[in-house]
Amino acid sequence: MSSNGTNTTSARRALVTGGASGLGAAAAARLRADGLHVITLDLAGDVDVHADVTDEQAVAAAIAEAGGVDVLVNSAGIVGPNKPLVETTAEEWQRTIAVNVLGTVATMRASIPGMVDRGWGRIVNIASMAGKDGNPNLAAYSATKAAVIALTKSTGKELATTGVLVNAIAPAVIDTPMNAKTAPNVLEHITSLIPMKRVGTPEEVAELIAWLTSDKVSFSTGAVYDISGGRATY
């Protein structure tokens, strides 16, 4: 612990969900470069913990086994159904909500008490521009990412005086395996909305995550940071 009561960077533990690929893998690599001890969690792949974020007991066990975490990056997510709203099913909605919303809630509920006890913590939830604009034929994804934004704002306010900061990132299209599963016509449409006329890279997003999980951010919580090549509308 440092003299001001917060643990030093080299002693900090971070949990990154969805850590096998895409934004999660890039974030994990970037945080390790900053000297954090990073624990990656995903359903499969080359990660430290294999677990489903919708399994609250498995998530809590992973965090407890780590001795608690100081940094949480919620990157696990699914696109959900790529089709008009009227063609979606209740089961598709339930799965998308379970992963994108309830999975984020599960990791936060398991991580926050220890962060508050230690008087320091950083949580970054990966939302999406879809949560602000609403992408056509991605109703479930858009709705769940809007929920992540509201969850971040609410929890950020709850914890504002504790030393635990909760912020979200709203990327536009990023070159990740998850977006490779998006229908080509949908992907073309949402890419065309980006003024820079290109998709972002996971490494560009990881730089923003690195700042939001550091001591350099100190007067921002419950905020949403766009990384959208200029697409942001509010």
Structure tokens given for 211:
């700042």
Sign of CA dihedral 214, 216, 217, 219: positive
Q: How far apart are the C-alpha atoms of 40 and 164, rounded to whole Å?
A: 21
Residue for token digits 């080299």? Answer: 10
β-strands 13-17, 164-171 pairing:
unpaired
Q: Which residues are catalytic?
A: 141
Q: Which of 188, 79, 173, 172 is nearest to 129 (CA)?
A: 172
Residue 38 pairs with which residues in a beta bridge? 14
Three-class SS state of 229 = coil
Q: How far apart are the C-alpha atoms of 26 and 35, rounded to whole Å?
A: 15
**Secondary structure element (H or E) that encloses residue 130, with its range:** helix 130-133
∠ Cα 19 22 24 (to 5°): 30
∠ Cα 23 63 52 (to 5°): 55
Structure tokens given for 156:
């950020």
